[in-house]
A and B are shown apart, each in its own frame.
Chain A
Amino acid sequence: MATVISNERLANGVYHLRVEGDHGGKMGQFYMLRAWGAYPLLSRPLSIHQVNDDGVEFLYHVVGEGTEIFAELTPGDAIQLEGPFGNGFPEVEGKVALIGGGIGIAPLYYCARQLPDSDVYLGFSREAFRTEAFRPLAAELTVDVGGLILNSVDFNSYDHIFVCGPQPMLKAAQMKGAAAGAGGRSPKVYLSLENRMACGIGACLVCSVSCRDGQRKACTDGPVFLAEEVVFHD
């Protein structure tokens, strides 16, 4: 059991959870969390927002029964963490763009801390949150509310592009990545997928991802995949 340090509301339905303890992890990895006994039955996967000396931080969006319980947590409450799990984003060199959509900005903060010369692009459908925390870390910060953040990114300007957001955005990033390269750099595009999970450790095949070379697991082979490997179904 771990202890909640704080659980701050950032925007409508969006919270910033800080949990005490020696919880490590790489950028793009996730933890399985539960703040209840038996039900809801499954733990919830949340990506690492930041790792500190005294604990680990998460951003989450209230979308159902589990995150509703998270939203009620107050400092001192107990919470159970298992992890870190998943492959995470690769350690890269060169010019990097970090592109987040909505709650998909969550893992990118930890990336921005570790890749300090990155350009950061944050897109929101209605309300922006946590953008000022990125500002001192980003070489350049672009924020968009209500539009398509991908339209602001010139893929040819980067060696590596990390993307996390809703599936239509990931799909669009995949297409932009495939089209990039003519007359500029040819960026490697990495997508962090958000799939429903049950076990979180690669045993149950609930989070299966269709890839060019067959089925892979979001929890252990991912959640980060090279964009060109993923086959999106509608």
Chain B
Amino acid sequence: MISTSVDTTATIAGVHFKNPVVMASGTFGFGKEYGKLYDVDILGGISGKGLTLHAKAGNAGIRVYETASGLLNSVGLENPGVEAFLSKELPYWETLDTARIVNLGGNTLADYVLGAELIQRDANQRALEGRKAVDMIELNISCPNVKEGGIAFGVKTPAAKEVVRAVRAATSLPLAVKLSPNAEDIAEMAEMCEAEGADAVSLINTISGMKIDVRRRRSVFNNLYAGLSGPAIKPVALRMVHQVANRVTIPVIGMGGITSATDIIEFIMAGATVVQVGTYNFMNMRAGSTLVEELHQFMLEENISSLDEIRGIV
């Protein structure tokens, strides 16, 4: 049978994704800027800029450097803080018809918990009024660009476990944990998240990398190391998504260097439920609309009526 329409939908912990194209944290702001270029409601979801309890100014010096097929960044989690996000950005999110994911980072265990509590309290208040602006929390234990916290929690499973357990206890919102490729054992990390009650894992965050300015004889980045993203990391990301998907039963949100519909299909075949798209937004300002369209076209051409047919088949 030749299909004229295709089913791209997915569900994670009751959250509906109209398609698997979710914009990755840190590359899409809170969606408003790209919303001026195209209708972001066509997207499966948006993961907002990583938040911390208190506002952060981010790192000084150069924040981005291109590498072969990739991008090093050292933004350092510049963000307005959870409270400013709730008051200034959520009114816009409330108008969106796409899965809205809050990405939450922290410097200390207490920061993570207080941040999650604020988001939960806001969700409770809205629920009383019959409104909703946040569909899921994505817990960032893997940012390589902040000195304390972030990655410190993302490398060793016991440290990560404390954070996941504490945040799980602090919120009833669907919870995904974003994993670092710099983890000692990413599959073990994912199993821990599942055991601690996370609803999903998302991976991979950037790979810790470096660039040296040979004339100045120093690192290009004030923070010495930076996070590598883009097509350069896709093979690593795909392998890790495949490994993790084979070890856990909770959904896997796959990401790392996606720039085409076939890249998305690869991640789905490796076992991802949905994917995230980050660096590609900088290569194509209309990345979201390009990918949603391309994916639809590819599925028609390949006679794939539902992504469930191919999910995890490799």
Contact = CB atoms under 8 A, between A and B. Distances in A.
12 contacts: A40-B66, A41-B66, A41-B230, A82-B285, A196-B63, A199-B33, A201-B34, A201-B37, A202-B29, A203-B28, A206-B64, A208-B78
Interface in A151-203: 196, 198-203
B22 to A, nearest CB: 15
Contacts of B71: 41-42, 198
A234 to B, nearest CB: 10
B206 interface: no
Given A41-B230, A82-B285, A204-B27, A215 B57 contact: yes
A77 B303 CA distance: 38
Contact of A233 (B60, B281, B283): B60
Interface in B13-40: 26-29, 33-34, 36-37
Nearest to A198: B282
Interface string A95-132: 00000000000000000000000000000000000000
A38 B68 CA distance: 11
B73 interface: yes
Most buried by B among A32, A82, A199: A199
Interface of A: 32, 38-43, 65, 82, 196, 198-208, 210, 214-215, 220, 233
A206 B75 contact: yes
A87 to B, nearest CB: 14
A41 B34 contact: no
Contacts, number: 84
Interface residues of B, number: 33
Interface string B44-81: 00000100000101101111101011110101001000
B78 A205 contact: yes
Contacts of A39: 68-69
A205 B282 contact: no
Interface in B76-133: 78
Interface on chain B toward A: helix, strand, loop, or mixed SS? loop
Contacts of B37: 201
Given A41-B69, A41-B70, A206-B75, A201 B63 contact: no
Given A42-B64, A199-B285, A202-B33, 14 more contacts: A38-B231, A42-B66, A43-B283, A196-B62, A196-B64, A198-B71, A198-B73, A199-B27, A202-B29, A204-B26, A206-B63, A206-B64, A206-B73, A233-B61
A31 to B, nearest CB: 12
B205 interface: no
B202 interface: no
B230 A208 contact: no
B203 to A, nearest CB: 21
Contacts of B140: none
A56 B58 CA distance: 35
B180 interface: no
B282 A42 contact: yes
Contact of B29 (A41, A82, A203, A210): A203
B273 interface: no
Given A41-B279, A215-B57, A233-B60, A203 B34 contact: yes
Nearest to B30: A203
B58 to A, nearest CB: 6
**Which are the 3 A-B pairs with shortest beta-carbon distances?**
A203-B29, A201-B33, A203-B33
Nearest to B67: A41
A113 B298 CA distance: 50
B259 interface: yes
